[in-house]
């Protein structure tokens, strides 16, 4: 194990020596914010925090960023194996080499700070177990919602609460796309191209638009909120690629907005269904009057309900060089403060003590309870709506609102839009199969979940 920066000089603790893996957008932001605010950070941490070694495949570009005072290497193992490094900051991303390097850093007795939500959602249980065994920290505030300190809020600020649910806009790319579709009435493909041109979406936007990035983050939030292991493979994930401009328009007319939400909710079994935890990412109608519905552009917001505190919401930039760097450096300050504290009394990685993690299951989507927006393309004939409502009634699904469009001139078909009250997903699946089999229903139904978040 290293000395973890505990050397003394003039009665003061020596600097925390940091090795940085990857100096792209976030790494460069971390270096700049740490340089710019070094006096403020030193006063808060009780010692200086210095990046002393950087690993990046593009050595020349890295040297141009950090100058001559910082050692730059191409091989990341030159950082994780360096006995003079106290903390390794992993900003490489992905599941592969990042996992290997984080585990090697832990094995060498180094604390780890990471912004890698994919790594933690998929391999977090293994990483936290290794860190606990070695007596080091893995800090990951930057992994969820960029500069918004939601991890610290859940692990510490809300620790007295039994968390009931979390609902978050936790992917800025999809929120930008949905905001533009609503404001400008454009189709998904057109707005995606605009998002790519502006740099909000990657050249390959799959992780964002298919909901995978948000599901990684929701998995982490669920683990911290409910004291369960990371279970990304149990999450239900649905992206925004099938959303159509008319559904956003109809939702607006009904008093709702559509957002891609990461939702995790505790179910205690009082409704007759088995207890468990919902973990899902999908487009969601939410009432326009709710504060989270007004979160536009590339911004993030996380709404939490605790039994004691009630509703709290956390809003800010969910990505970008300096917002994410803010979270990375906050973790470095936390690590610096722990060097003089009892390792047994650190805040646990997942907020609950490791031996007290729950085996409460993640519920399959068929067991989730929510309300629904349904859009049906139907023949303009008498009795069509009556047939549909009869099938819903047979399935014990009650209707909250109906919007029936007049057919365009010369057309003999139209849209019927229904909002239901809350029901179990398996019941809506069964009912929709019967409805879609009606000869007057002309295409597969559009079905979007609806949450009131109260």
Show the CA angle centred on residue 280, arms to residues 279 and 284, nearest 5°: 140
Token representation of residue 173: 């790319």
- Full 3-state SS string of 153-170: HHHHHCCCCCEEEEEEEC
Length in residues, the chain: 454
Which DSSP string corresponds to 228-262? ----GGG-EE--STT--HHHHHHHHHTTEEEEEEE
Q: Measure Cα distances from 359 to 229, 230, 232 in Å.
A: 8, 11, 15
3-state secondary structure 19-60: EEECCCHHHHHHHHHHHHCHHHHHHHHCCCEEEEEEECCCHH
> Which residue in 115, 135, 86, 127 sits closest to 28, CA to CA?
115
Going across the sheet that includes 16-21, the strands are 71-73, 49-55, 16-21, 87-90, 111-114, 138-139
User: Considering only CA atoms, which of 106, 133, 108 is closest in space to residue 119?
Assistant: 106
Handedness of CA 214, 216, 219, 224 (dihedral sign): negative
Concatenate the DSSP letters of all residues of 265-290 into one string.
EEE-STTSSPPEEEEEEEEEEEETTS
234 is catalytic: no
Which residue bears the tokens 């990857």?
22
Task: Kindly name the residue from 110, 117, 217, 317 that is annotated as catalytic.
Answer: 217
Active site residues: 217
């Amino acid at each position: 194990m290293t000395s973890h920066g505990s050397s003394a000089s003039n009665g003061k603790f020596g600097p925390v020596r940091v090795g940085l893996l990857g100096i792209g957008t976030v790494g460069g932001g971390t270096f700049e914010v740490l340089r710019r605010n070094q006096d403020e950070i030193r006063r808060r941490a009780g010692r200086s925090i210095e990046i002393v070694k950087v690993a990046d495949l593009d050595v020349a570009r890295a040297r141009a960023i950090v100058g001559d005072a910082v050692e730059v290497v191409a091989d990341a193992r030159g950082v994780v194996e360096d006995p003079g490094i106290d903390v390794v900051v992993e900003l490489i991303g992905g599941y592969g080499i990042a996992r290997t390097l984080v585990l090697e850093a832990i094995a060498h007795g180094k604390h780890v700070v990471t912004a890698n939500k994919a790594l933690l959602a998929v391999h977090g249980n293994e990483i936290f177990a290794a860190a606990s065994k070695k007596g080091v920290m893995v800090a990951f505030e930057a992994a969820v919602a960029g500069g918004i300190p939601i991890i610290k809020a859940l692990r510490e600020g809300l620790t007295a609460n039994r968390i009931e649910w979390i609902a978050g806009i936790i992917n800025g790319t999809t929120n930008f796309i949905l905001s533009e579709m609503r404001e400008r009435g454009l189709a998904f493909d057109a707005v995606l191209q605009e998002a790519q041109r502006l740099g909000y979406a990657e050249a390959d936007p799959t992780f964002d638009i298919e909901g995978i990035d948000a599901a990684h983050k929701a998995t982490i939030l669920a683990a911290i909120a409910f004291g369960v292991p990371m279970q990304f493979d149990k999450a239900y994930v649905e992206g925004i690629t099938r959303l159509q401009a008319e559904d956003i328009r109809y939702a607006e007319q009904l008093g709702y907005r559509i957002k891609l939400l990461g939702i995790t909710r505790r179910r205690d079994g009082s409704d007759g269904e088995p207890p468990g935890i919902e973990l899902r990412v999908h487009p969601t109608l939410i009432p326009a009057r709710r504060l989270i519905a007004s979160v536009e552009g590339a911004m993030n917001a996380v709404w939490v309900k605790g039994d004691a505190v009630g509703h709290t919401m956390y809003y800010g930039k969910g990505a970008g060089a300096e917002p994410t760097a803010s979270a990375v450096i906050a973790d470095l300050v936390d690590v610096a403060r722990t060097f003089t504290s009892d390792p047994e009394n650190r805040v646990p990685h997942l907020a609950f003590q490791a031996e007290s993690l729950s085996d409460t299951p993640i519920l399959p989507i068929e067991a989730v309870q929510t309300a629904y927006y349904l859009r049906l393309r139907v023949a303009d004939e008498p009795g069509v709506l009556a047939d549909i409502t009869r099938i819903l009634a047979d399935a014990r699904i009650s209707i909250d609102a109906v919007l029936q469009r007049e057919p365009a001139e010369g057309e003999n078909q139209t849209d019927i839009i229904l909002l239901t009250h809350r029901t179990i997903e398996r019941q809506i699946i069964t009912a929709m199969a019967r409805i879609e089999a009606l000869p007057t229903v002309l295409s597969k139904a559009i079905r979007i979940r609806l949450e009131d978040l109260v």
